Each structure stands twice: as structure tokens, then as C-alpha cells.
Chain A
């Protein structure tokens, strides 16, 4: 308030100066009257007129200049910043030569005051906005957290804190990885994605399904889908937003459904392990003393035990498909290697049934993008069928071929000269548990193999088909996409994941980055 006091005392001083000038003029007036008495009346009148005019002009001018105008200017400044007087222009300080500095000072004080008021108003608006955000974030029934550039937690809403049973002070400021023990089931983790996003993109989004969250003190595992939004240049340093969609109940129901199958699988596998093990031991111990017939019996038992193992795997995979839990991970692979492995693994069975498998694989096949384990199962199923049906036929030859077809896809066919399939049932062949009446009577199996094969091939982006003629034999074929083509698809898509499959059951159908 120094400036204001200065201003007041200066105005007081100026009033005194004006009064003094006034007194001086009165004194001059008196002096002129005293000394010019007797002079000509004309001279007296002129002199008095001059003095009167002087006091009537000089004094108002002076008081306007040094008192009224500065005050008016301050008033104008106040009006200028007042919210309901928007048309008042800002005062022009240059107009004033007398006491300009002081006036400028005072005016600037007014403006400072205004800016304080303004800030207070803005802060209030801001606090209001924060309140709104807080309200939305905390009343949202979805757990969410915000991370800074070091993956430390900046904010966790109420739902999040409830979800992980933590207080804000335990979570905020901590690394997300130390607060949340999440397993993603493969290498496509949150961490891995953030590393990629930070290196390549200013803004990115990603979702994961069936993420598991392990909580301390043996609390039950949480299962959820996770959505993430990354923005490198958020002004508040809010770099990553994570939203959790809890599915613990439904996912663990799936788990339970699967765990029944898993239990059955375990119970079946143990005796099979023993059967296979003791048969092998028996064969070793009796080596040399076996009659050809006994050796043949042992051989057949071994093959039967092996096909039981394969059946159990099929059963397990069907359960997985139906529970949306079969996850394919496509990698670049050499197709002839997979085909030869399947042939080798079935050679024992083929030999027992006296069937001959021959292969015709084009030498220049491109690499393919496949989930090796699943595709191996497709081959195993088709070859096993071909062997089974050929065994009943006089011509016991199975031919497996792989070529590039007209569409540039790798086409694999398995051809047998077996009993063949009646035309009427061909369309239903790939349905679950479907088998022709004739084959049901004569040949064992569950009817799961083709259903599984179709699901797996289609999930790979391929197509499976059959051609058959009764008494002549059948040819099953399927296509798979060359790796280069899949990689293109990945590059052009706006999403990292390639999701396919008629059943919609492919989860994170992702191509591994090279």
C-alpha cells in the first residue's frame, strides 16, 4: 500500500500547491489594487481582468492535470478489468507527464489485483474440473490406474484400490509391477508393450484377455481383461492409463469346466503312462525269447496305448475350444519339417496296420505362419484317419503332398485308397461326433478329430476340404497362409493382433515379432 499512501500525500501536496498559487494570485490582486489606485481606471480594469482570467484558467487546468486525471485513470483501469464493463478501454498512461510514474504504479497495482482475482477464479474452475474428474474416476465401477513415464502409479481410483485391497498411500508412487503381480501367460506383457510403444509411437492402445493377478496372503487369483492407453506427450505426465475389466467369476467357471476335463485327463494319462512303460520294459526283458506272434501282440498293445494318448489330447483340445481357451501363437516355421515329424510319429502305427505312407513335398515351399503344436495335431488326425481307413482296404497306401496352390497358399493333401465316404454324409463330416454309420461299426475313434482340425485350420486363416468316392478312397486337404503374407497382414492392420476363426474363439492370435 506504499504506492497508495504516496499517491494520497502527493494529491494533498498538489492541493496545497494549488491553494498557494491561488493565494499568490489574490496577493497580486491586492498589490495591484493598492499601488495602482489613482492610475487610470482603464489600466486597473485591464490588470484585474488579466489576473481574474489567469486564476480562472490556470487553477482548473492545474487541478485537472494533477488530481482529477490521475484519479480518473485509476478509475478507468478498474472499470477496464471489471467483468461487466467490457467496453471501457485500457487507460493510456502516456497521456500524462505530471506524476506519470506514480499513476502507472497505481494502475499496475490495479492490474495485479485483477490477475490475482483471475487466478483465484481459474483455480476455482480448475478445482471444479478436478472434482469432476475425481467424481467420474471414483464413481466408475471399473478399476483404473494412471502411470507416469517410469511406470510408477500416479493415480488409482477407488474401484482399483478396492480391487487389489490397497490404500492409496500403498499404491501411489510405487512401481506398477511391485504393486500388481500380473501374469499374461506369454511374452506379450504390459511391460513388453510399453517398451515397444515408447520406442515407436506417440500414442498407442492395447488390450489383453485373461490376465491373472496374484494377490498376497493366498487371496484368490483375480482374472480380468486389461485395456491400456499410452500417450507420450500428456502435459500432466499421465503417460499410461490402465483399465481392468474383471472376469474372475466367469473365467474361473471356465477353469472349473476345464478342470473337470483336466482331472479326467490326468486320471487317464497315469495308467497309460504305466501301460506304455511296462510294455516297453516287458519287450526289453523278453528280447530274443519272444515268438513272432507275441512280439506282434506287444507291438499292437504299444500302438493302442499311443493312440489313447492322442485321443486324450484331442478331448482336451475340444474342451479348450468350447471354453474359449485355445490360444494359437503363430510363428514362422518350415512346413516340411512338421509334416515329416508327423509321418515319423505315425510310422509305428502304420507299420502295424501294414499301411505305407509316402510323401511328396514341393521343394520350394515358403515358410508358413503356424502354431506348431496345433498344426501337428491336424496332420496327425488326417494321417491317422487315412491309416485307419486304408487298413481295411486292399490298397494300403497313403500319400501326403504339399504344394503351393493357385492362390499362393500352401496346400497339404492326405490321400488314401480306403473305403471312401458316401456323398450324403460328406457335408457333415467336420461336425463334432459325426461319423458315418458304416465307419462307426467298423472303425474306432471319437469323431472329434475332423471337428478339431477344421477349427484349427480356420483359426490359422486356412480352409479344409474333403473329396471322396465310395470304394475309391478319400482326399482331405487344407490350406495354410505363408508367413510372408501373414506378416504383411500384420503390418497393414491397425491392430497388432490378427483375430480369426469361425467360432470366434481365438484370443490373442498374435504373430511373433521377428
Chain B
């Protein structure tokens, strides 16, 4: 194969970054998994808060997408376990993805613990990928 014909390495990093998508809305999860996989990410979807937390604690992920309204334990609780007092630091960046709206001070509390806070309705899956590409 001619080197000029090789795929563009800008969009396909040599070590694939691993993303945990904690999202219980099946269709949204499907869209995110699709867009992230196409962009070269390795994706693990999870619908349950408690199971998501256990997965996150294995510290194998570069990025964790965390919805707030999820079953068993809420995203806020997952976040508190991962970033609250006494938690073990993980390498993963935590990005909150939610359509929930809350009072400014609660949002500020969440934002202070997470690395980013995104409203799902305000971005398309492709825009989400573009944003994650900028997170190092």
C-alpha cells in the first residue's frame, strides 16, 4: 500500500481512547456509541448507575460520559463516589451529559466536581465527539 493512501492518523489515534458511556436512554446511548466508534474511540456503554460506578473504578477509561438521571444510583451519587471526599483519583475525565435542568447552585456543585457539563439537547453526537477530541 502506498503511504499516501493510508488512513488519516489525525482521526484514528494509534492508542484508542476508551470511553465509558453511562446513559440509560437507549437511543441516545446508541447515537453516542455510533459517533464515538466511528471517530476511533473504544466505547463501553452502561445503563445502570451502580454498575457504571463499579466499571469506572477499574480505572481503564480515559473519558466517562455520565448522565444524571439513571437507575439504581443517580449520576450525582456516581460523581460523588468518584470525585467526592475520600475518593481514589482516576485518570478518566468525567463529562456530565444531561438534559436535566437544576438550580444554579446545584449545577455549580456538579460542575466543580466534574471536568465538563454538557446539555445533550444542545449538541449533536458529532459535536460531542469534537468536544471530546479537545479534552486531553
Query: Is A290 in contact with chain B by the CB < 8 A criterion?
Result: no
Instruction: Tell whether B54 is near chain A: CB-to-CB under 8 Å.
Output: no
Return chain A residues, CB-CB under 8 Å to B31.
Answer: 274, 277-278, 281
Interface size class of A (residues with CB under 8 A): 20 to 34
**How far is the CB of B86 from the nearest CB of chain A, in Å?**
15
The reply on A327 being an interface residue by CB < 8 A is yes
**Chain A 274-305, CB within 8 Å of chain B: the 1/0 string?**
10111011001000000000000000000000
**Of A183, A262, A270, A316, which is within 8 A of B28 by CB?**
A270
Asked whether, in the complex, the Cβ of B119 is within 8 Å of the Cβ of A274, the reply is: no
B124 touches A266 (CB 8 A): no
Determine whether the beta carbon of B121 is less than 8 Å from that of A273. Answer: yes
Question: Is the Cβ of B25 less than 8 Å from the Cβ of A186?
Answer: no
Task: Please tell me which stretch of B7-15, B44-52, B87-95, B97-105 contacts chain A, meaning at least 4 of its Cβ atoms lie within 8 angstroms of it.
Answer: B97-105
Asked if A258 contacts B103 (CB within 8 A), the reply is yes
* Interface members, chain B 66-110 (any A CB < 8 Å): 69, 99-106, 108-109
Say yes or no for B57: interface residue by CB 8 A criterion.
Answer: no
Query: Do most interface residues of chain B lie in helix, strand or loop, or is the interface mixed?
Result: helix
From B69, B109, B121, B126, contact of A272 by CB (8 A): B121
Interchain CB contact under 8 A, A266 and B105:
no
Say whether A262 contacts B101, CB under 8 Å: yes
Contact A266 B122 (CB under 8 A): no
* Contact between chains at B121 and A183 (CB < 8 Å): no
Q: Which of A185, A258, A281, A312 contacts B125 (CB 8 A)?
A: A281
Cβ-based interface call for A265 (8 A): yes
Q: How far is the CA of A380 from the CA of B126 in the complex (A)?
A: 22
Partner of B102, one of A186, A262, A280: A262
Chain A residues positioned under 8 Å from B35 (CB to CB):
281
- CB pair B99 A269 closer than 8 Å: yes
Q: Knowing that A278-B31, A281-B34 are A-B contacts, what are 10 other residue pairs whose CB atoms are under 8 Å apart, sorted by A's residue number?
A: A184-B105, A185-B106, A185-B108, A261-B101, A262-B101, A262-B102, A269-B99, A269-B121, A276-B124, A284-B126
Q: For the complex, is A212 an interface residue (Cβ under 8 Å from B)?
A: yes
Residues of A within 8 A of B (CB): 183-186, 210, 212, 255, 258, 261-262, 265-266, 268-270, 272-274, 276-278, 280-281, 284, 309, 312, 316, 325, 327
User: Which residues of chain A are near B121, meaning CB under 8 Å?
Assistant: 268-270, 272-273, 276, 309, 312
Q: What's the Cα separation between A291 and B120 when bound, in Å?
A: 30
Distance in Å from the Cβ of B22 to the closest Cβ of chain A?
Answer: 16
Q: When chains A and B are docked, how far (Å) is the Cα of A183 from the Cα of B111?
A: 13
**Residues 2-45 of chain B: 1 if any A CB is under 8 Å from the residue's CB, otherwise 0?**
00000000000000000000000101100100110000000000
Provide the bound-state CA to CA distance between A136 and B60, in Å.
60
Question: Contacts of B126 on A, CB cut-off 8 Å?
Answer: 280, 284
Cross-chain contact B120 with A269 (CB below 8 angstroms): yes
Chain B residue at minimum C-beta to C-beta distance from A277: B31
Question: Cβ of B105: which chain A residues have Cβ within 8 Å of it?
Answer: 183-186, 210, 212
* Chain B residue with Cβ nearest A507: B104
